Amino acid sequence: MAISAGGAPLVLCLGEALVDRLGPLGGDPATAAPADCDDRLGGAPANVACALARLGTPVGFIGRLGLDGIGDSFRELLADRGVDLRGLQSDRHRPSRVVLVRRDATGERVFQGFTGDLGEGFADQALDAQSLGLVWSALADQALWLLVGTIPLATEASALALQAAVQQAAASGVRLALDVNWRPTFWDAAADPAAGPGPVALTQMRPLLEQAALIKLAREEAEWLFSSSDPVVISAGLPQSPDVLVTDGGQPVRWCMAGHGGSMPVLAPPRVVDTTGAGDAFTAGLLHQLVALTPSAGQPLRLSEAVVEQVVRYAAACGALVCAGPGGIDPQPLPHRVMQFLNQLND
């Protein structure tokens, strides 16, 4: 069951919408028969937009899709969820991206490249700053947060569009949330999927890291970028002293928010079917809570330590519930299910 968030977007999610092609366990998605693969709509910003809409937060998606079956499926899904699509661009020459995901016998995943490129790259790489500028004022009229990741930085056109959106957000008092979401294969399809960012990527990322009001990182990302996974250290080392959250799989999530440092064990899912999209659901739960707590432009986020812990706990519940179903979008919870899950944990 989907619900429509409705209303002018309070959060804008900018970046990739794509298909994850999951190969058979132990097999190669590049050579496997289509019937043996599992195609799932995904991409972190698209996942977050869908999750926010299901939670009831008005949200808009800014991205670019091909005029193909994948693009059609995304447009239908986003519209069904009630996501504002004025920032969604269509590309007549480039296809929507398909990511090949190899899975070992235990289900662990490795991004191993892409398929479907017709010679001009993928639609998401051509996100156009000028087209975005034409709709920005209307789209961002009520927005409180702009969520971005680092993948658009890997291509010149989409990097320019992201940078323009960040500048426009700053000028209008829209807070920037950054989910680093480092994926080396988007920068170099032949890169080691476990490699950290090189000098070029680090240079591209630095301005975002120094402008974001909220930064979410995986532990390894924190160590690559800051030589520390301590959110208090990371926040203190950046000029704007942002709120920082560091996740680490099944290990406790740690944070420095509104001046409060803390940590919390991850919440055990009711069952684990697929962990895809858990981090994106966590981000959506976080922003869903923060929207109601965000003050006017230029004012700091003032929250008590207890409220910060409640915000993170809600986000963790959203992430846990997504693990109970296949894919990163279909099992995203409605708000009553999140509260029901949290109440059960408290009993």
Ordered by start, the domain boundaries in the chain are 11-248
3-class SS string, 182-200: CCHHHHCCCCCCCCCCCHH
Instruction: Tell me if 85 sits within 8 A of 138, measured CB to CB.
Output: no
Q: How many percent of the chain have pLDDT more than 90?
A: 75
Q: What is the pLDDT of residue 3?
A: 39
Question: What angle in degrees, to the nearest 10, is found between the helix axes of 44-55 and 305-322?
Answer: 110
pLDDT in tens, 17-29: 999 888 787 788 7
Class of domain 11-248: alpha beta
**CA nearest to 21, candidates 80, 92, 105, 96:** 96
pLDDT in tens, 248-258: 988 999 999 99
Residues in the chain: 347
Q: State which H helix or E strand residue 18 sits in.
A: strand 18-22
Instruction: Using 70 as the pLDDT threshold, list the residues of the chain that sit under it.
Output: 1-6, 105-109, 297-298
Neighbours of 181 (CB within 10 A): 22
Q: What is the pLDDT of residue 95?
A: 97
307: left (phi over 0), alpha (psi -120 to 50) or beta: alpha
Mean residue pLDDT across the chain: 92
Query: Which SS3 state, helix, strand or coil, does residue 228 take?
Result: coil
What is the layout of strands, in order, in the sheet containing 38-42?
38-42, 18-22, 98-103, 109-115
Q: State which H helix or E strand residue 334 sits in.
A: none
Q: What is the pLDDT of residue 4?
A: 42
- Strands (DSSP E) found in 170-220: 175-179, 214-218
Cα–Cα distances in angstroms (integers) from residue 308 to residues 103, 311, 315, in the given order: 36, 5, 11
